[in-house]
Chains A and B, each alone.
Chain A
Amino acid sequence: MNFDPFPWLTAIILFPIVAGLFIPLIPDKDGKTVRWFALVVGLIDFAAIIYAFYTGYDLNEPGLQLVESYTWIPDLDLKWSLAADGLSMPLIILTGFITTLAIMAAWPVTFKPKLFYFLMLAMYGGQIAVFAVQDMLLFFLVWELELVPVYLILSIWGGKKRLYAATKFILYTAGGSLFILVAALTMAFYGDTVTFDMAAIANKDFGLGLQLLLYAGFLIAYGVKLPIFPLHTWLPDAHGEATAPAHMLLAGILLKMGGYALIRMNAGMLPDAHVKFAPVLVILGIVNIIYAALTSFAQRNLKRKIAYSSISHMGFVLIGMASFTNLGLSGAILQMISHGLIGASLFFMVGATYDRTHTLMLDEMGGVGKQMKKVFAMWTACSLASLALPGMSGFVAELMVFVGFATSDAYSATFRVIVVLLAAVGVILTPIYLLSMLREIFYGEENPELVKSQALVDAEPREVFIIGSLLVPIIAIGLYPKAATQIYEATEAQLTTMLRGHVPALVAVAEPATVTIEPLVAEPAIAPAIDVAPEPTAITVEADVVDESLLVKPSEPLEPSDPDNPQIEF
């Protein structure tokens, strides 16, 4: 095998797993050495991630980079093929960051520490593998494999109903994964060549009917993970029973796998179906935002409340990826990164609170702010981040989705108005449930029973450090979003250009032959927003730099304009 250039991605994935295998050999009775070992492994791997991307990744290059491909099973054309582009690279960094912090958050775990830290390290590699693999079959394998440690962590270290929750989780996700397998096999065997390579599959020309079927299958599989209403009910149960580090991984990274796969496969490989399905995604996004915000408000259990808030925030990812604008898609990706940080911090705080109060029911808390001032301050900061306070990352992401969708030229004006209006209702609902939660935990008179029975010690430096580490990028992105968006901008722009090439109305505008004033007359309100309509030359110019696989296929003629139906109507 050729190790030049050094296979960084393989190393990053395998290092924590291999290191984890040595854990049983560590002489350790009380679990104090193991956790240091795991932390050091996590830090080294995170440093390797940063180094690899710093030296080997070109931000201006939209396509796949750091490509590695080794034939694994030649008969099946199964390859160990890894690569990163703008879509996966920020999520890989996020994974390294959150998982390392989760190991630190797991400090108090004393029950079976060796197994626990082994599973954490296995998760570390597994999660990165999901974001890095470029082979459909391999993707399915790692997607499934990464479920195992989660299941074990849930079912061994969880709360009272942990088995029910873990079983529900595994049934849901494994059930969803079936669709991935079926769809992946169909895509691989379709056409003349049998290939599992994602780029090659994306180049295949599926008929619209098949695309729609495949899309629906993927949507169910990834909709479970994101989660999308009504496939979300495993999440409150899983979260309700998990421990803090498992929470951080679930909310911080596992949910992002759903969003990542939706963008990479549904949008990236099945663009025509994506155009048809986009309004459905938007509506599901709205439902996610409002429905989950309301249920979160009514929840009395702290963990479940935050779990529902995660569902609510993921709605913005759906709306953003269905907007067919640079801004919207960029906002969707940023929302995933941002929620990874914010969700992890909130769930960490839930765990830290539970360690002290030993209850999750809001009715049994009250007035604890007096004794736990730092916990109170950190909770407030994380909640404000979650309710999209400007100056923090959540705001930027939501604003980008809002502006992106509002200016999207792929939908009729009425549809956009209604969607933006409803999504903005979330802006009102989010502070209601988050602030009343803070009020019930920290404000007011101290709850005498709680104060008497529990020792409410204030936060220790480790906890302050973890929250501080999460808040630094949250605030940094909030103050200067370009710092985050430029990481993935090139890939995002290429994807958006490709997707826009599949929207009939936009193609009609872009095609020089059919450029008349007509669409503008039909939709006068668009006329002033001149800069949103692509220049007629845009597509041809892009064609020089764009990765061939993602381009408008030459075999597929640009669809003629349909004067009666210039937009995706819904």
Chain B
Amino acid sequence: MESFLYDSAWLIPVLPLLGSAVVGLGLISFNQSTNRLRQINAAVIMTLLGVTVFMAFGLLWSQIQGHPAYNRSFEWAAAGDFHLTMGYIIDPLTAVMLVIVTTVALLVMLYTDGYMAHDAGYVRFYAYLSIFSASMLGLVISPNLVQIYIFWELVGMCSYLLIGFWYDRQAAADACQKAFVTNRVGDFGLLLGILGLYWATGSFEFEVIGDRLELLVSSGALAGGMAALFAILVFLGPVAKSAQFPLHVWLPDAMEGPTPISALIHAATMVAAGVFLVARMYPVFEQIPAAMTLIAWTGAATAFLGASIAITQNDIKKGLAYSTISQLGYMIMAMGAGAYTAGLFHLMTHAYFKAMLFLCSGSVIHGMEAVVGHNPILAQDMRLMGGLRKYMPVTATTFLIGNLAICGIPPFAGFWSKDEILGLSFAANPALWLVGWLTAGITAFYMFRMYFLTFEGEFRGEDKTIRAQLLAAAGEVGGDDGHDDHHDHKPHESPWTMALPLAILAIPSTLIGFVGVPWNNRFEALVHAPGEVVEMAAEAFDRTEFLIMGGSSVGIGLIGLTLASLMYWQKVIDPSAIAAKLPALYQFSLNKWYFDDIYDRVFVKGTRRLARQMLEIDYRVVDGAVNLTGLVTVVTGQGLKYFENGRAQFYALIVFAAVLGFVVVSSIG
């Protein structure tokens, strides 16, 4: 039974691929009848994914029982003595990732049925979801760098298609292109890094590269600087995919996609692929201290950057997006600080609670749309929300659970993982810890700001003046003067297909932290850095240290929480007064540190200008020369015909002149 499970593990990405292929072919050949079947398509796709969920759990169970890592491959491309294999590897890391991806994907699919119920692209959306699941599952079972790169690009393509799902929205059109191109910048580095490492070590396998690189550097055959350069180039891939500074700019814009996508791709799975890749490449990074330091500080900078921007966001999804950036920063920081297990542990807890938070925001938007209509500018703005707890109790409760988890309040999941990261980064470098610790406080503040603005106080959705202001700020004229098709005056709770996934996700968001408690870290026993010997956790556990570290992070979290409640719930402190007092800082955060403006000016406009100049050159110089040759031929031809006048004396004159010319020239020479 067990060996059968391992032998057929290739089915895990293939089944969802099959589902999307069937539905996709149906869409392109029998569009109308396929669309009419609607939920039958969804049922097929979800059934196929359901099978993979069972397989993933089976594999995880077998890995927990201590089954050795399983590797299977076949020759994919060959030329001369070059052989490239593809295949799959099942080890604890893969098994954990498989469970995360399949469960979140299945719940998101269930949720989608409610969220996209009235959308014309319902079936297409399921097809995309399924092909994304296939690519993501293919990514986590990849045994070598080339295969990772292949699926890495494929998940990027799915992200592109899904961000641009509502392609008639201009913002979505811009966002999907931005996401793809920014990710290609990262992939550029990743590709070069892969090539460099292959050139140096002759292998694409993670551990082989690690071993040979160590040998080469220690023997002096390869300069340490080169090794570091390759490692950093590879790291550019995760920087883009996991939205790390300075390539984070695509993720907030990616929120233009439908909310289930934001939950699945842009919070739980794809963006975590960067962390996963760093984990896979750990044998390489580990021996290059310069790369590790860079990774750690990139993560720390990103964590702080994301949190500092999230404070001032008014769009509920943008706020969550910046919080995702910040949390991914924590994971990357952990990896760089050598806290391999802690980073992956946070990846797991974050996947569940952030997916839930995003799905909650989708539920809120769904409820708001009943009041303000299908306009993202109105439906997603927290200034129009407030008091939603009364109308949407399930959503409010689950959002609160997610909030407590992300803020690191015990015993919720986020506490254990974040505490482990902070503790280990303190050991690596206290400065890293300080950044992480401060960020934890800001996190609590902005997350509860969101919670209070959305769910507490009075409902502001009917306020015409705020609506008009928002529309004016977005540059839309007219507003909602009666052409909306809604009649409700109060938002409503979402249907059960949306509420159920929220309730299910609340369970791991609350409890999953207990698999990694510091005095009995079962997670670490399962997933640990290759070659690392796990010390018996119970012996290493230091109660005082745990209480100090945990206490300080809970403390700053509570401070942030209190501050948020004073400002946005009790209204004791007026936030706008603070903003008015610190206009520079407020604008800096509100404008996302001006990254978009700078990039637009330097890269976007710069490339456009360069391209136009190239085209000018092509048209005027290169093609101009060709046309000039033509012109010269015509002109000289026209001119020469006057020499051909049939008079012998004239020819004799020319011959004479030519001879004279030769004589003069040769005598001078």
Contact = CB atoms under 8 A, between A and B. Distances in A.
Interface of A: 168, 171, 229-230, 232-233, 291, 294-295, 297-299, 325-327, 329-331, 367, 369-370, 373-374, 376-377, 380, 384, 389-391, 395-396, 399-400, 402-404, 406-407, 416, 420-421, 424-425, 427-428, 431-433, 435-436, 439, 442-446, 464, 480-482, 485, 489, 492-493, 496, 524-525, 527-532
B28 A427 contact: no
A464 B177 contact: no
Given A376-B167, A427-B187, A525-B226, 17 more contacts: A297-B611, A391-B150, A391-B154, A395-B153, A402-B195, A407-B82, A420-B192, A424-B191, A442-B167, A443-B172, A444-B169, A444-B170, A482-B77, A496-B80, A527-B221, A529-B199, A532-B202
Contact of A428 (B188, B200, B615): B188
Contacts of A389: 153-154, 157
Nearest to A230: B622
A531 B154 contact: no
B77 A424 contact: no
B188 A403 contact: no
Interface string B41-54: 00000000000000
B663 to A, nearest CB: 33
Interface stretch (B178-186, B285-293, B323-331, B523-531): B178-186
Given A298-B608, A528-B200, A530-B202, A327 B615 contact: no
Contacts of A400: 77, 79
- With most chain A CB atoms within 10 A of its CB, the pick from B199, B612, B626 is B199
A446 B173 CA distance: 13
Contact of A402 (B78, B150, B191, B226): B191
B191 A427 contact: yes
Interface string B178-215: 00110011011001100110111110000000001000
9 contacts: A370-B167, A373-B31, A407-B198, A420-B192, A435-B177, A436-B177, A444-B169, A492-B79, A525-B199
- Interface size for chain B: under 10, 10 to 19, 20 to 34, or 35 or more residues? 35 or more
A13 B527 CA distance: 63
Contacts of B28: 374, 377, 464
B135 to A, nearest CB: 9
Contacts of A428: 181, 184-185, 188
A464 B149 CA distance: 30
- With most chain A CB atoms within 10 A of its CB, the pick from B146, B160, B167 is B167
Closest 5 CB pairs of A and B: A326-B80, A443-B173, A390-B150, A298-B611, A298-B615
Interface of B: 27-29, 31, 75-82, 146, 149-151, 153-154, 157, 160-161, 164, 167-170, 172-174, 176-177, 180-181, 184-185, 187-188, 191-192, 195-196, 198-202, 212, 216, 220-222, 226, 607-608, 610-612, 614-615, 618, 622-623, 625-626, 630
Contacts of B151: 390
A369 B184 CA distance: 24
A297 B177 CA distance: 14
A481 B76 contact: yes
Contact of B81 (A420, A464, A480, A531): A531
A168 B80 CA distance: 42
Contacts of A326: 79-82
A365 to B, nearest CB: 13
A427 B201 contact: no
A407 B203 CA distance: 12
A389 B29 CA distance: 24
Given A291-B614, A367-B168, A442-B167, A482 B78 contact: yes
A431 B79 contact: no
A386 B554 CA distance: 51
A369 B191 contact: no
Contacts of A424: 188, 191-192
Contacts of A374: 28, 31
A535 B569 CA distance: 77
B202 A531 contact: yes
B76 A482 contact: yes
Interface of B is mostly: helix
A400 B191 CA distance: 12
Given A298-B611, A528-B221, A369 B167 contact: yes
A66 to B, nearest CB: 24
A480 B615 CA distance: 38
Given A298-B615, A374-B31, A524-B221, A390 B77 contact: no
B177 A439 contact: yes
A240 B32 CA distance: 36
A443 B608 CA distance: 20
A265 to B, nearest CB: 22
Contacts of B618: 233, 291, 295
B202 A529 contact: yes
Nearest to B156: A389
Contacts of A404: 79, 82
A476 to B, nearest CB: 13
B130 to A, nearest CB: 15
B170 A528 contact: no
Contacts of B167: 369-370, 376, 442-444
A295 B180 CA distance: 20
A496 B164 CA distance: 45
B198 A406 contact: yes
A524 B222 contact: yes
Contacts of B216: 528
A156 B618 CA distance: 27
A295 B615 contact: yes
Contacts of A327: 79-80, 82
A41 B536 CA distance: 76
Nearest to A432: B181
A93 B246 CA distance: 47
A433 B172 CA distance: 18
A325 B157 CA distance: 31
A439 B154 contact: no
- With most chain A CB atoms within 10 A of its CB, the pick from B28, B80, B612 is B80
A395 B202 CA distance: 20
A232 B621 CA distance: 13
B173 A439 contact: yes
A321 to B, nearest CB: 13
B216 to A, nearest CB: 6
Contact of A298 (B173, B187, B202, B612): B612
Contacts of B221: 524-525, 527-528
A329 B80 CA distance: 10
Contacts of B154: 389-391
A355 to B, nearest CB: 19
Nearest to A329: B79
A496 to B, nearest CB: 7
Contacts of A399: 146
A422 B316 CA distance: 41
A568 B149 CA distance: 31
A176 B555 CA distance: 78
A11 to B, nearest CB: 33
A455 B195 CA distance: 49
A164 to B, nearest CB: 10
A378 to B, nearest CB: 8
Contacts of A527: 221
A390 B149 contact: yes
Contacts of B31: 373-374
A436 B160 CA distance: 12
A436 B181 CA distance: 10
A522 to B, nearest CB: 13
A435 B29 contact: no
B181 A295 contact: no
A367 to B, nearest CB: 6
A327 B169 CA distance: 44
A232 B180 CA distance: 30
Contact of B626 (A233, A373, A402, A485): A233
B157 A443 contact: no
A389 B181 CA distance: 13
Nearest to A291: B614
